[in-house]
Structure 1
Amino acid sequence: MSSGLGSAPQTDARRISCLVADDHAIVREGLRRVLSQIDDMVVVGEASSGEAALELVARRRPEVVLMDARMPGMGGVAAAGRITTDHPEVRVVMFTAHSEQDLLWEALDAGAQGFVLKDSESAALVGAVRQVVAGEPYVDPRLAPDFLRQLARPRPGGILSAREREILQMLADGHSNREVSERLVVSVETVKTHVKHILAKLEAEHRTQAVAIGIRQALIR
């Protein structure tokens, strides 16, 4: 991964907090060096496993996690799924090799918002981080053909994650945000974030419409 990046935009003094998760120390070192050159980014932690990433996300609350797809123990895809479920405000960018394109589908279902190849230029990685923070998904152009083929396949369960389908079912059953939070043992704010994502994904204007769409698409009963 090459460096030589220009300075970051100065329109906002806020710094994007990043967590780096990779089982190879030399990769973490390289990512930290790249991000440390960017004025509007800061590395708030490093993890060598999926389990360690989950613990650090809970403690440091980064905006973005750069996640290696394959790690010993809990892999990056499984960790991404847990992070996006427990902390839906956190963006996950998968850091993968060409040979791991088969993981795209799983990572997409897990809630990852970015996909960057490990041999990418530093500018591409930085651009991916900024893009997902802005709310837009990022896919490495070299992965795009395979990614689009994945999206074209029929998707069992629709575009909602398992946790989002679970919450939508609870809404259909008449539960309030607080009741959902108590049942799932998460904060009300987390539930509200999930509901916001559900509405956006289903292109629904309100809960009732989301429930109707969910039933019509057989996402819930």
Structure 2
Amino acid sequence: MSGGVDGQCDTRTSILVVDDHTTFAELLTGALSQEPDLRSVGVAGDVESSIRLCGARRPDVVVMDYHLAGGNGVTASARILRDRPGTRIVMLTGDPTQHVLEAAATTGICAFLPKDGSLATLLETIRSARCGTMAVHPSLLTAAEPGRRPGAGVPALTQRELQVLHLMAEGHSVGANARLLNITPNTCRGYVKTILVKLGAHSQLEAVAVASRLGLLTARS
């Protein structure tokens, strides 16, 4: 929970915007200022300043562009999460390649969105990120998908595991997935753990990235 003025508690979600395009950063911070439950705590334009400001401002959520001066958003995210593992990072990219998707997912970011996507989607993702929800926009999965179908060397997932995987790719929470599949949350968590093991992933977002590369998200559930 963020600190407010004069030491009072501020329940609004605090956001650090990291982008080297000044116009985009200004437009986004302006939009955040219009939201009663969100507040901007600063703007950084390169890797080093993003890490420095994150340590000083302690934001709940970081909106991170992939392309940055002095490196990229994956590098910055890895260093931020090493120092402050509870930080939620939403990465934006105009370059949705499979390599970028998997590199971002392995750092521990919680969401991966197209930079030219809608503001409404970004704001919704920021709100969900603080609650621990992960999200990857379907358009990025489509763009990153190499078109390969599951075959030799691809882990075999059961029909139910594929159903859970597809719902994970849509960004639903475990509770929502359980309701949609008419199973208990604990049972759903069990499926998620099995999927992570089978795909050799450490997070749900990384599992979705790996599944996209292997063509599992094109498999019928």
- TM-score bin (small chain): 0.5 to 0.7
Match of 1:174 in 2: none
Contact kept in structure 2, 1:51 and 1:74, CA below 8 Å: no
Q: Relative to structure 1, is the Cα distance of residues 83 and 16 closer, same or farther in structure 2, using a 3 angstrom cutoff?
A: same
Q: TM-score, normalised to structure 2's length?
A: 0.60
Asked whether 1:83 is paired with 2:80, we answer: yes
Candidates 48, 51, 57, aligned match of 1:51: 48
Q: Relative to structure 1, is the Cα distance of residues 99 and 137 closer, same or farther in structure 2, using a 3 angstrom cutoff?
A: closer
Task: Tell me by how many angstroms 1:100 deviates.
Answer: 4.9
Equivalence map 1:81-160=2 (5 Å): 81-100=78-97, 102-145=99-142
Two-structure CA RMSD over aligned residues (Å): 3.0
Q: Relative to structure 1, is the Cα distance of residues 37 and 100 closer, same or farther in structure 2, using a 3 angstrom cutoff?
A: farther
Q: Which runs of 5+ in 2 are unaligned?
A: 1-9, 155-189, 203-221
Asked whether 1:64 is paired with 2:88, we answer: no
Q: Which runs of 5+ in 1 are unaligned?
A: 1-12, 155-199, 204-212
Task: Tell me by how many angstroms 1:30 deviates.
Answer: 1.4
Q: TM-score, normalised to structure 1's length?
A: 0.60
Q: Percent same amino acid at aligned positions? A: 35
Candidates 71, 76, 94, aligned match of 1:74: 71
* Structure 2 CA distance for aligned equivalents of residues 88 and 99 of structure 1: 25
* Structure 1 CA distance for aligned equivalents of residues 26 and 145 of structure 2: 32
* Structure 2 CA distance for aligned equivalents of residues 148 and 14 of structure 1: 39
Task: Tell me by how many angstroms 1:145 deviates.
Answer: 3.9
> Match of 1:22, as an amino acid?
D
Contact kept in structure 2, 1:70 and 1:77, CA below 8 Å: no
Q: Deviations over 1:155-182 (max 9, x none)?
A: xxxxxxxxxxxxxxxxxxxxxxxxxxxx
Contact kept in structure 1, 2:96 and 2:144, CA below 8 Å: no
